[in-house]
Each structure stands twice: as C-alpha cells, then as structure tokens.
Structure 1
C-alpha cells in the first residue's frame, strides 16, 4: 500500500523531487543544475496524480530550491539548463546570471547581518547576566535635629525659706530638669503646698522652691 500522507513542508517536497528526478534536482554536496525555463508547468503536469503534494506546495518548494545559495551559484552565463530528465537545453543568459549573482549577494549579506545581530544580542544578554545587580537601598529619612532647650536663667532667683513665703506668692518649683511656675496656696510646718500653672497641686519642702 502506497503512502498517501501529504507532505507538510518544502524540505520533504524537495527530497521527493530529488528522488523522483535525480538528473534534474540534486541535493547535498552534488552541484545543482540550472533548471529549464517553465519547468514548473512540466513538473505540475507530471505530478498531477500525486496526492501527497499540491500545485501550491510545488510552487513554494521550487521557489525555495531556486533561491538556495547552492542553486544560485550554478546560474552562470552559458551553462546549459536541464529538463526533468536531465536533457540539456538553452543556455543561461547574461541577464539571468547577473540577477542570480545579485540575489546571492543580497541573501548572504542579509544572513550575515542577522547572524551578527543575533551574536550581539547574545553577547548583550551574557553581559547583562554577568553585570552586578543594582540593589535599591531605601533612603533613610533624616531625623529632624533636636530642638535646643531654652535654659532659663535662674541666677536672679534664690532658694526659699519658710519665713520668706506667704500665701498666693509666685514661686518656682524645682521639678525635673526645669523649674515650674506656681503659687503658694498653703504653708505648713514642714511643707509648702503649691498650685502649678497647669492646675496641679504639689507638696514640697521650702528648699525645693525658689523666689
């Protein structure tokens, strides 16, 4: 039973043509031969009953074959073209030879440009991999400078004594780092009760007051 599975790419079709028409189509290290002008029509007629390949596929495969560097190299002036059976016919014209040379040159330049571009891209990717990764260090918010404490001049005050104190007298109570203003509200035997400007009342010794 013959294999009727359709070809799926040009490579398969070109291999098939090389097998069917070895005196016309070549592959591998064998030099290509210039094809007869109008060979496609002849080829389409010969393969009209071949279920594995359509005319459209044939046209695409033939185009790929004739644009290959190996084929373009063989298109030289005065070289004879061949038909499907390898029978030689017309010679390659100077115009066709010149066109093939130009096409070959452009194709190679494009291929080399793409290769260079890919090489540069690969090199850039390698450099990017080797480059040290930047680490974003969060900036630290500078703490505001501490406010300078206003130190009150206490040289004009003196330590209070019981005998010098009187009710409703303005005094300063030595609490913590700075004296706090207040008013004497009660004078006892050993202590003095002072109401601070904040409304709070404290009981302290006279020596903790300055007037």
Structure 2
C-alpha cells in the first residue's frame, strides 16, 4: 500500500462494519490493532508498520475524535459491540481535537502572512519598475555598442505529485503553493499531518503535509 489513506480504504473494504472512509467514524474497540494483526497475518498487501501508522492517523482524524463521547459503544472488526467509551477517553479526544484545530489555525495564519509578504514584495518590485521607466535616460559622453543580453528567466518550480507522508523526512526539499506562487522549501519538523518548512527566504511556516509536493 502506497500510503495510509490507501490502507484505510483497504480496511474499509475488508471490515465495512468497523472502518469508514467518509462521514462519521465508528469508535473502535480498545486493542483493535492486535485484532487486525491477527486477522491480516500473512496478508502481503499491508505490513504491520503501515497498519500501525494508518490506524494512528485514522484515530487522530477530526471525524474520529468528534465521535469519541462518553457512553458511546465501541465496535470490533465485525461491527459487534466491544465496550463503552469512558469519560476520560472523551476528555483526551477533545483535548487532542482542540490542539489539532489550533495548529491548523496557526498554520493558516502563517500562510496568510506569507502571502501578504509575497504580495508586498511584488508591489514594491512593480513600483521600482514604474519609477525606473519614468526616469529620464542617462546620457553617456561616448556611445559604446554593448551586446544585448537576454534577461535571465526566473526559475520555474516544477510541482509534481504530493509527497508520500510515510517517507517524508526532515531536510527534504518540497514544493508548495503560496497564493498563486509555487515555491520550494525545506522540511524542518514533521508532526502527524503537518510539517514546518523553511522557505529559501528564511521564513518558516506550518502547512498540512497534503499540500506539499515533490520537486
């Protein structure tokens, strides 16, 4: 399986009464990983490592955390009742959800600030260009024929496929879009579904891993 999303889709096919790929998720039985490892023993499509990573991502998703409410029924792989959610589990899920939302808001704020910086730089460049165009040409004492050089083309960032969350690493060069501009950055830190990257200008921002592309 190439990524966690594909693994969850595979689990939803095998255990439709337990896993979902859209809408509200179902609270899972405590120890569901051991049940999965036993049922998928020898399955060449998914390793235990990818299974654990995908399960962690699934249970940390907003749509899963929202259904973790005290008294709600947990289900096993076949959809049978497998215990109830306790108050402490609901409290932990709510804290995780609040923290995740705060990180997303912070990343969005940083992205907006980066967009404003880009727009400011573009305005200043345009103003400089306009001022230069209005200025009278300088006269030289002696006319010298100088070969005309073609202006250097700005480098184009080739945006490829989105990065593989399972192989993304610190120090990796990635591409991302800020406004209408494609930029290259270096991964500084990785935190579940988000990463902090540093632009070549030195600015650092947090973005969702799903917005990063290979370059």
Indicate the TM-score class for this superposition, using the shorter chain for normalisation.
Answer: 0.5 to 0.7
What is the rounded CA distance, in whole Å, between the counterparts of 1:48 and 1:40 in structure 2? 12
The match for 1:55 among 35, 48, 58 is 48
Q: Which runs of 5+ in 2 are unaligned?
A: 136-215
Structure 1 or 2, whichever has the larger Rg, is: 1
The match for 2:18 is 24
CA RMSD across the alignment = 1.6
Partner deviation per Cα, 1:74-93 (whole Å, 9 max, x = no partner): 10000010000000121100
The 5 Å alignment of 1:7-46 reads 7-29=1-23, 31-46=24-39
Aligned partners of 1:12, 1:108: CA distance in 2, in Å? Answer: 24
Greater RCO, 1 or 2 (C-alpha within 8 Å, sep 6+): 2
**1:146-168 alpha-carbon deviations (Å, 9 max, x no partner):** xxxxxxxxxxxxxxxxxxxxxxx
In the alignment, the residues of structure 1 paired with residue 33 and residue 5 of structure 2 have an alpha-carbon distance, to the nearest angstrom, of 17
Instruction: Look up the match of 2:161.
Output: none
Give runs of aligned pairs for residues 1-211 of structure 1, distance below 5 A.
Answer: 7-29=1-23, 31-131=24-124, 132-133=127-128
The whole-number CA distance in structure 1 between the counterparts of 2:109 and 2:27 is: 31
Instruction: Give 1:69 shift.
Output: 0.1
The number of equivalent residue pairs is 130
In structure 1, how many angstroms separate the alpha carbons of the residues matched to 2:9 and 2:90? Answer: 26
Unaligned runs of 5+ in 1: 1-6, 138-211
Q: Secondary structure at the match of 2:74?
A: strand
Helix, strand or coil at the partner of 2:33: helix
The one-character-per-residue Cα deviations of 1:46-102 (angstroms, maximum 9, x if unpaired) are: 111210111011000000000000000010000010000000121100000000000
Corresponding residue SS for 1:50: coil
Deviation at 1:116, TM superposition (A): 1.0
User: Which 4+ stretches in 1 moved above 2 angstroms?
Assistant: 132-137
- In the alignment, the residues of structure 2 paired with residue 28 and residue 19 of structure 1 have an alpha-carbon distance, to the nearest angstrom, of 13
TM-score, normalised relative to structure 2: 0.58
